[in-house]
Amino acid sequence: MLLADLSNEIEEVIGYRGCDSNRIRLSLAERNITACTPPKKNRKSKPPYNWNLYKKRLMIENMFAKTERLATRCAHTFMSAIPIASRFIFSLKE
């Protein structure tokens, strides 16, 4: 499980709706990490999440999707866009 390898510096984990489970939430809570995951629609008790933070995840995902579309045209373009995308992600943390 990738979440088990998170460093101690992580404060929040942003996940999509499919990652919403009690097991994941409890695992993160034991390590004082906030889970920013929208609850599944069939959940009876819907835990709160930070919509503004989750919206940043959607922006990053959409940016990678656009970059991937470019990759189908030219692999060189995709490889050169990875550092740009990485810089964009880290700038969102600030």
- 3-state SS, residue 38: coil
For the segment 13-34, the average pLDDT, to the nearest whole number, is 86
Residue 23, pLDDT above cutoff 80 = yes
Q: What is the pLDDT of residues 34-64, one digit of tens each?
A: 888 888 888 888 888 888 888 888 887 888 7
Q: The whole model's pTM is what?
A: 0.59
Q: What is the pLDDT of residue 21?
A: 86
β-strand partners of 14 = 36
Q: What is the pLDDT of residue 83?
A: 75
Q: CA angle 22-28-31, nearest 5°?
A: 140
Q: Within a 13 Å sphere around the CA of 42, how many CA atoms are in the beta-carbon half?
A: 2
